[in-house]
Chains A and B, each alone.
Chain A
Amino acid sequence: MIEVKDLHKSYGRQGKVNALNSISFTVDDGEIFGVIGPDGAGKSSLFRILASLILPDSGSAIMNGHDVVKDYRKIRQIIGYMPGRFSLYQDLSVEENLVFFATLFNTTVEENYHLIKDIYQQIEPFKKRRAGALSGGMKQKLALSCALIHKPEILILDEPTTGVDPVSRKEFWDMLGRLKEQGITILVSTAYMDEASRCDRIALIREGEFIASDTPQGIIDDYPEVLWAVEGTGMSALLGELRAHDKVKSSFAFGDKIHITVEKNLQAEELKRYLANKKFNDVRIAPIAPTVEDCFMALTS
């Protein structure tokens, strides 16, 4: 279990940059907990504190009973940490990296092979290749294997899917699902809002603060606005007309549709007539359920 209470962290002279402001949350054993927000929101600072790599200014974090400041030696044994930037030894081979990390933790690759088998098998054909010469996707798999080889109780993954294409991202989350089944607690951060649904619970983070924390469905259920999807030809011009309507509160492109939030007393027919007057005759309007991205935007507007 992870228990974080009132964490604060600032950087720079006179604490000019406020990285984390009063962060509190808990993660249960065997849960996948996602910290979701844009770059610069404080995700990496939070994870570095939990990995005992930097000290918080105040507040506490207890991981499976161990304090990240006082018990840092123990923390480092029970966690597996995958930093945002690839940080394995580029000049060692795939296999050498893995053996090195196993040895550091006083174990062997054979002893915990069952944990990484699923992931490592995909890069094993390249085990003699230097880590620096691997492609992005393979580096990611090697980094995850190295973070797992000492059988950690808690896995901390800082933006493991940044810059990764949609298909490989899905595969990566499938792997995390299987690790969860083995009882590993997983704390993961991402800037991709669509990955929220793969987590048991999530926190939305912005400018060092959690602006919401719940199950993905709970966050969606709390959405305060009336949300419609608008479809039509000439999206850019349509967006402009929607913004000009005084009962439309916000309008943003979402793929091939426009999501708008509207005043409660606006009727879809009324909006359709308004758009028809502006020569948009083929417009379709329908109420829709929000995505986590809609929720994030409503919370930060």
Chain B
Amino acid sequence: MSKKVIEVNNLTKKFGSFTAVDRISFDVKEGEIFGFLGANGAGKTTAMQMLCGISMPTAGEGTVAGYDIIKENERIKRNIGYMSQKFSLYEDLKVWENIRLFGGIYGLSDKTIAEKTNELLKQLDFEQERNTLVKYLPLGWKQKLAFSVAIFHEPRIVFLDEPTGGVDPAMRRQFWEMIYDAADRGITVFVTTHYMDEAEYCNRVSIMVDGRIDALDTPAELRRRFSADSMDEVFRQLARKAKRGDS
């Protein structure tokens, strides 16, 4: 559990005179579930884009999955998985076609894809939905499938951007049980959420305010430090300090 899969130092991103991400430094260990919280406009998305190798930092340095985020960003993309609430799967492709597509993008062989597809559909109890167009799946099912597809190529890290938004309460919890399984298999999980009960399910949590990381610790320690009963209260205390007139 001690190997670091994300390590960043003073990571900064400026758009003109606006500093979206302001010298953030942190690391994430292998197999950890790391919650990345912050108010709307605090800089979470920009920070995540830099970690995923799709946005170049203005300053600072770091590695993700062992690769340099500036010089080796193409390699990073191959070694991570990503899913968000807004986009995860192609609605007009069937379940098996989505798996086939993403498996292919990540360079898995046809044989591996075929074998793993059967395995996955069985695990999810999805075998009857193999030929269903994704748009006809209920949201909760879609998100479970999307998560499985995001880790289909066994990446070292998976980035989840609000994966459970709008998902019903029981499904939301089943989704988190899948996250735990993935973490147990050694996949590091980097997740954003607006559900503060989900912050409790993370091993450690960081909270961004105005482009900086203002707090980073285990949920229990954060509650203790802010004399708060819940993560919701911790979040409120921190987010209230925000000066950006954004949200």
List A residues at the B interface (Cβ < 8 Å).
Answer: 17, 37-41, 122, 125, 135-138, 159, 162-170, 191-193, 206, 235-236, 252-256, 293, 296-297, 300-301
> Are B165 and A191 closer than 8 Å at their CB atoms?
yes
Given that A191-B165, A206-B168, A297-B169 are known contacts, is A166 also in contact with B235, CB under 8 Å in the complex? yes
Residue of A nearest to B236 (CB): A167
Which chain B residue lies CB-closest to A236? B180
B39's partner among A168, A235, A252 (CB-CB below 8 A) is A168
Q: Which residues of A contact B39 (CB under 8 A)?
A: 165, 167-168
Q: What is the chain B residue whose CB lies nearest that of A37?
A: B168
A38→B247 contact, CB < 8 A:
no
A253's contact among B201, B223, B245, B247, by CB below 8 Å, is which?
B201
Contact flag A39-B38 (CB < 8 Å), given A253-B176, A255-B231, A256-B219: no
Find the A residue at minimum CB distance from B85. A163
Could you tell me which B residues sit within 8 Å of A by CB distance? 38-41, 85, 136, 138-140, 162, 165-171, 173, 176, 180, 194-197, 199-201, 219-220, 223, 230-232, 235-236, 239-240, 245-247
Cross-interface CB contact of A166 among B166, B169, B180, B194, cutoff 8 Å: B194
Q: Which residues of B lie under 8 Å from residue A296 when comparing CB positions?
A: 168-169
- Tally inter-chain residue pairs, CB-CB below 8 A: 103
* Cross-chain contact of B247 among A137, A236, A254 (Cβ < 8 A): A137
CB pair B167–A39 under 8 Å, yes or no, is yes
Question: A255 with B197: in contact, given A38-B166, A167-B239, A297-B170 (CB under 8 Å)?
Answer: yes
- Do B236 and A166 touch across chains, with their CB atoms under 8 A apart? yes
Please list the 9 inter-chain residue pairs (A to B) with the smallest Cβ-Cβ separation, ordered nearest first: A137-B247, A38-B168, A39-B166, A255-B197, A255-B200, A191-B166, A167-B239, A168-B247, A165-B39
Q: In the complex, what residues of A have CB within 8 A of residue B235's CB?
A: 165-167
Q: List 5 A-B contacts (CB under 8 A).
A: A40-B139, A163-B85, A170-B236, A191-B167, A206-B168
Bound-state CA distance A88–B100 (Å) is: 38
In the complex, what's the smallest C-beta–C-beta distance from A51 to chain B, in angstroms? 20
Min CB gap A208→B, angstroms = 12
- A301–B169 alpha-carbon span in the complex (Å): 11
Chain B residues lying within 8 Å of A38, measured Cβ to Cβ, are: 139-140, 166-169, 171
Q: Which residues of B contact A159 (CB under 8 A)?
A: 166
By the criterion CB–CB under 8 Å, are B170 and A164 in contact? Answer: no
Shortest beta-carbon distance from A210 to chain B in Å: 15
Most chain-B CB neighbours within 10 Å: which of A17, A41, A136, A137? A137
> Could you say which residues of chain A place their CB within 8 Å of the CB of B195?
192
Say which residue of A166, A193, A301 sits within 8 Å of B232 (CB atoms).
Answer: A166
Q: Are B41 and A300 in contact (CB under 8 A)?
A: no
CB of A301 within 8 A of CB of B196, answer: no
Instruction: Please indicate the chain A residues that have their CB under 8 angstroms from the CB of B180 in the complex.
Output: 236
CA gap between A192 and B165 in the complex, in Å: 9
A165: which B residues are within 8 A, CB to CB? 38-40, 194, 235, 239, 247
- In angstroms, Cα B195 to Cα A164, docked, is 10
Complex Cα distance, B196 from A162, in Å, reads 14
Q: Check B40–A164 contact: CB distance below 8 A.
A: yes
- What's the minimum C-beta distance from B15 to chain A, rounded to whole angstroms? 11
Please state if A252 and B220 are interface contacts (CB–CB under 8 Å). no
Chain A proximity of B92: nearest CB distance (Å): 15
Which chain A residues border B246 with CB–CB below 8 Å? 135, 137-138
Contacts of B170 in A (CB 8 A): 252, 297, 300-301
- Distance in angstroms from B16 CB to nearest chain A CB is 13
* Set of chain B residues within 8 Å of A137, measured between Cβ atoms: 40-41, 246-247
Contacts of B240 in A (CB 8 A): 167
Q: Cβ of A40: which chain B residues have Cβ within 8 Å of it?
A: 138-139
| Neighbouring A residues of B140 by C-beta, 8 Å | 38
For the complex, what is the distance from the CA of A159 to the CA of B166, rounded to whole Å?
A: 10
A164 touches B200 (CB 8 A): no
Complex: chain B residue closest to A170, CB-CB:
B236
Contact indicator B168/A163 (Cβ below 8 Å):
no
**Residues in chain A near residue B236, CB distance under 8 A:** 166-167, 170
| Chain B residues near A37 (CB-CB < 8 A) | 168
Bound Cα distance from A159 to B168, whole angstroms: 14
Instruction: Name 4 extra pairs, CB < 8 A, besides A191-B168, A255-B196.
Output: A253-B173, A254-B197, A256-B223, A301-B170
